[in-house]
Structure 1
Amino acid sequence: MSDSETVPPAAPGGGADLPAEAREIASGYAFTGPALDLGALLWDGTCLPDAAVRIPLSMLNRHGLVAGATGTGKTKTLQLIAEQLSAQGVAVFLADVKGDLSGIARPGQENDRVRKRSGEVGRPWTPAGFPAEFLALGGLGHGVPVRATVTSFGPVLLAKVLQLNQTQEQSLGLIFHYADTKGLELIDLKDLRAVVAFLTSAEGKAELRNIGGLSSATAGVILRSLTAFEAQGMADFFGEPEFDTAEFLRTAEDGRGIVSVLELPAVQDRPLLFSTFLMWLLADLFHDLPEVGDADRPKLVFFFDEAHLLFDDASRAFLDSITQTVRLIRSKGVGVFFVTQTPKDVPADVLAQLGNRVQHALRAFTPDDQKALRATVQTFPRSAYDLEELLTGLGIGEAVVTVLSENGAPTPVAATRLRPPESLMGPVDAAELDRAVRDSPLHGRYAQAVDRESAYEKLSAAAPAPQAPPPRAPRAPDEEPSLVEQVVGSGMFKSLARSVGTQLGREITRSLFGTARRRR
């Protein structure tokens, strides 16, 4: 990226010739340390290029919100922030729901609109591409496959995907605990289905009775939900090799942060799955990263597109876990930006933690729209603008901004004309994308799925034959019991738990979301 990304050419505090109100707003963005340059202040319908609107780099781990109606420019805002973060050496994760963010890896194309906008905001424009990795959930798409094991995904997030009620979610947690303690590794969906099927079978009734609070009826509901989920083609997302979320923290050889672009168009018809899977990525980072406190820049900024899908119909426990994860992950050097249409899509406890706000235009065609508009205005600090009027009159690529200053206080509300991204504003072609994926160092580690022995294989090996066996003669006193008798007989899994489960059980710790990692 051009040098203008690090040191904006416009006077950050504004000039003496600015109107007094505009000069006061601009002074709130006169930061002394590194900052990302969003664009220029709008005042009384005029763009003021000498009044820069910026975000301090040190405050990007304080989380944020990018909101606005469809077609107002949210995606370009993500791209603008992401490429400047990369230029500053910060890794970025982008959820590419619409499939048009892959262009961040290629220099942009100059045209009349780009020239006009860069001239209006008083910023030079130099085309630039940025180091990027392209990923895809379960390999559905052009990217390197991102998979999770069922055991690390955990019961809370899986209950959200399966749309279980609170009682069923708690019961699923008991099943995970049972599998953990018995050494039954839950790698893919067939592993979990095998464990639940065993617990609901005649052979497993005794074990089911030992799991407090889990009824056979509830276990049956969970089993049917799993079977239906798998029949919808969801099995590809769970398995090995599991993606190591530490891959998101890498920088390129030239020091720029790598932008990890997770391609999601292939799963657009499964929004609940991809939104919950994104939460697993964030929870896994939280689980693994050390505390860093207040650093001069974040390690990673995570953009969570279509955020409303995460919160729709979520249980109280799930929302509490999101709130706590967002609150605590800041101290691990990770910033989270939620991207959605209106602030009301985000629960109040989460919204209260989003100190950096970029609000694009809202539409107010219906009574519900009017209500959402008023609610949005109430989430902003007091301002010199009539925000209700302003938010309905913003053009494409314009937004109302307030961020946290270097001392942590909110900046004045600033109507802003945003500068254009310097990378390609659109997708690269599929052939180029495929080449980039094949050339990625991640391809060799994650492209080929692995199916090793886990709960399904262990239970299948220990299960009785389908046909009823002939009556057995009584075993002689000195005869060793068979494997089936050891595993399926009274006290099912006791021998297996002693040899494998106890060691595995000690190694599994579950986080706020019930996510887990084997010790690396």
Structure 2
Amino acid sequence: MSQSVPMPTPSTVLLGAAGEALQWLHLPLANRHGLVAGATGTGKTITLQILAEGFSRAGVPVFCADIKGDLAGISQPGKPNPKVEQRAVATGLDDFSYEGAPTVFWDVFGQQGHPIRATVAEMGPLLLARLLELNETQEGVLNIAFALADDEGLLLLDFKDLRAMLSHVAERAPELSAHYGNVSKATIGTIQRRLLTLEQQGAEHFFGEPALELTDLMLLAPDGRGAVNILAADQLVQRPRLYATFLLWLLSELFEELPEVGDLQKPKLVFFFDEAHLLFDDAPKALLEKVEQVVRLIRSKGVGVYFVTQNPLDVPQGVLGQLGNRVQHALRAFTPADQKAVRAAAATFRANPAFDTQAAITEMGVGEALTSTLQPGGAPGEVQRTRIRPPRSRMGVVTLEERKAAVEHSPLAGKYDTAVDRNSAYEMLRDRAATVPEDDAPHPAGPAPVSGGNPWGTMGRPASSGPWGGLPNPSWGDAAPPAANRGRRRQMAQPKASAGGGLLGEILGGGNGRRDSAAGALAKSVARSVGSQVGGQIGRALVRGILGSILKR
């Protein structure tokens, strides 16, 4: 069969058929988010797979968290099967063919795909404080550590940098308390213990360089299909705190970096978060409110967020109310709690007089679902009992050889695979202590300068144009572009809150992360206070403005 068949209706994604009526997800409304729910074994993963395929064929990049490993089959063509082909025709796929999607594999641990990393500075003190479940006093001390790193030009890239910075703050507690506020060594000890807990869940693999560039999640294949980014999460899901860290960081990064674009003809990016309850379990109320805020506002950035979970009640009501496109597979009502979930799921749909929604939820078989999508104009459609169409790609796992080949032939091969440990806060503080007596050690004149300008152009794409609408030119063949020639979103990878950048940072010499020379120290002594106080305060206020507005209490 043909391996490349264009979408018959570029503005829609086919879900399946309800009797003779085909059910579509409308791309101009796909950034209004969605929910895929249902009991184990009812077909949620297949629904996720056909949605990802549909978005990819429409030129929309996709990000999926693969919890069980069976979503990876989307990278391979399906095997010929008469029953699959009959169902495809019965559910509206008259042009059905077997084909895999252009796929990029990712893995926080770097074992089943390209590593995903972020720097501690990119995570920021507010988000880290939420994830570490710090109280207000502990959060304040963590903010002091980040502020001091800004003022002294110390780069916070990985966990050992943050640990060294906290120890440095503890050593200078009496001096810093007069300028930044009270610093307690006991409080720092508590933060260090919380960091140890997160580190034991594998966070040392996540924090570091090279950091992920968001544009690498928005690649297009040469035939115009969007890349399907699959995060291997079978190990990550066993570390729920790290899993939540990753999801929240990625949402906040997208919200902060992408420009406002309003409603587009199709999303710029669609995210599927499987096992969504792990994001919300035991989360404090303040954090849930911030997640709700991000989900509500990120729509205007052109990003659609789709939660996949067993029970709609797993998603907080404030977030659930933002999900306009719904696919509800069967639920089992064996206990009073199950019956409550069925009633709650039925109540979220626009009723259809043709059948009882609550009864249908418990009666549906595998591969059936209740669907309700936003119609042109934004109104929710009546709930329909739908037979979900089959995917064009493989339904199941991939072999180790197939995964390895996909990683080796990826357009990002070699870019993230090797960790980089640059000179940063840990090394700077170690060298300072080893070479200069503590009482005579000169402080760096100022913080590191902010690198580069705004890398985003129209609709969140790089300012430099390329042959595929300004996106990086990926090679889906045998050769990958040399890593040295790729652009970097954060060349210096310094904290987002870096202050005193630009011309002032160059004059003060704080951007090189090294101690001032003996000759320069005297000349810079006056400018030091300007760089640390004025530059630090203004820079932090400007550069952390967006993230602070999201996460600040």
TM-score (norm 2): 0.78
Distance in 2 between the 1:77 and 1:167 partners? 45
Do structure 1's residue 230 and structure 2's residue 199 form an aligned pair?
yes
- Cα distance change, pair 168–484 in 1 and its aligned pair in 2 (3 A): closer
Distance in 2 between the 1:446 and 1:4 partners? 32
SS at match of 1:148: coil
- Asked if the contact 1:104/1:424 (under 8 Å) is kept, the reply is yes
Task: Report the equivalent of 1:18.
Answer: none
Distance in 2 between the 1:511 and 1:280 partners? 16
Distance in 2 between the 1:381 and 1:500 partners? 60
Do structure 1's residue 128 and structure 2's residue 99 form an aligned pair?
yes
- Shift of residue 185 of structure 1? 1.5
Q: Deviations over 1:351-409 (max 9, x none)?
A: 11111111111111112111222222222223323222111111111111111111111
Aligned AA (1:162):
L
- Cα distance change, pair 350–214 in 1 and its aligned pair in 2 (3 A): farther
Do structure 1's residue 397 and structure 2's residue 367 form an aligned pair?
yes
Distance in 2 between the 1:495 and 1:486 partners? 15
1:434 to 399, 404, 427: 404
Aligned AA (2:170):
T
1:500 to 507, 510, 523: 510
1:142 to 106, 112, 116: 112
- Asked if the contact 1:89/1:251 (under 8 Å) is kept, the reply is yes
Distance in 1 between the 2:363 and 2:182 partners? 56
SS at match of 1:54: strand
Aligned AA (1:359):
Q
Aligned AA (2:510):
V
Which structure has the larger Rg over C-alpha atoms?
1
Task: Report the equivalent of 2:8.
Answer: 6
Distance in 2 between the 1:241 and 1:185 partners? 14
Do structure 1's residue 38 and structure 2's residue 38 form an aligned pair?
no
TM-score (norm 1): 0.83
- Asked if the contact 1:155/1:514 (under 8 Å) is kept, the reply is no
- Cα distance change, pair 407–483 in 1 and its aligned pair in 2 (3 A): farther
Report the more deviating stretch, 205-214 or 218-227: 205-214
Q: Deviations over 1:246-300 (max 9, x none)?
A: 1111111111111111111132311221232022122212211121111111111
- Shift of residue 166 of structure 1? 5.5
Do structure 1's residue 319 and structure 2's residue 329 form an aligned pair?
no
- Cα distance change, pair 165–425 in 1 and its aligned pair in 2 (3 A): farther
Q: Deviations over 1:198-223 (max 9, x none)?
A: 2223x443224543365432221001
**Map 1:140-289 → 2, pairs under 5 A:** 141-165=111-135, 167-201=137-171, 203-208=172-177, 210-212=179-181, 214-289=183-258
Q: Percent identity?
A: 49
- Cα distance change, pair 397–163 in 1 and its aligned pair in 2 (3 A): farther
Task: Report the equivalent of 1:344.
Answer: 313
- Asked if the contact 1:134/1:260 (under 8 Å) is kept, the reply is yes
Task: Report the equivalent of 1:510.
Answer: 544
SS at match of 1:71: coil
Task: Report the equivalent of 1:79.
Answer: 49
* Structure 1 residue runs without a partner (length 5+): 8-32, 42-47, 466-481
- Shift of residue 514 of structure 1? 5.0
Q: Deviations over 1:300-327 (max 9, x none)?
A: 1111111111112222332222122112
- Shift of residue 180 of structure 1? 2.7
Report the more deviating stretch, 86-95 or 377-386: 377-386
- Asked if the contact 1:66/1:338 (under 8 Å) is kept, the reply is yes
Distance in 1 between the 2:183 and 2:320 partners? 35
Number of matched residues? 462
SS at match of 1:417: strand
SS at match of 2:186: helix
Aligned AA (1:286):
F
Distance in 1 between the 2:244 and 2:234 partners? 12
Report the more deviating stretch, 310-319 or 208-217: 208-217
- Shift of residue 511 of structure 1? 5.6
Aligned AA (1:6):
P
Do structure 1's residue 458 and structure 2's residue 435 form an aligned pair?
no
Distance in 2 between the 1:165 and 1:381 partners? 42
- Asked if the contact 1:402/1:410 (under 8 Å) is kept, the reply is yes
Distance in 1 between the 2:364 and 2:309 partners? 17
- Cα distance change, pair 193–397 in 1 and its aligned pair in 2 (3 A): same
- Shift of residue 228 of structure 1? 3.9
* Structure 2 residue runs without a partner (length 5+): 448-507, 512-530
- Cα distance change, pair 485–101 in 1 and its aligned pair in 2 (3 A): same
Distance in 2 between the 1:244 and 1:134 partners? 15
SS at match of 2:107: strand
Distance in 2 between the 1:136 and 1:381 partners? 39
Aligned AA (2:150):
D
- Shift of residue 4 of structure 1? 7.6
- Shift of residue 512 of structure 1? 5.2
Aligned AA (2:112):
H
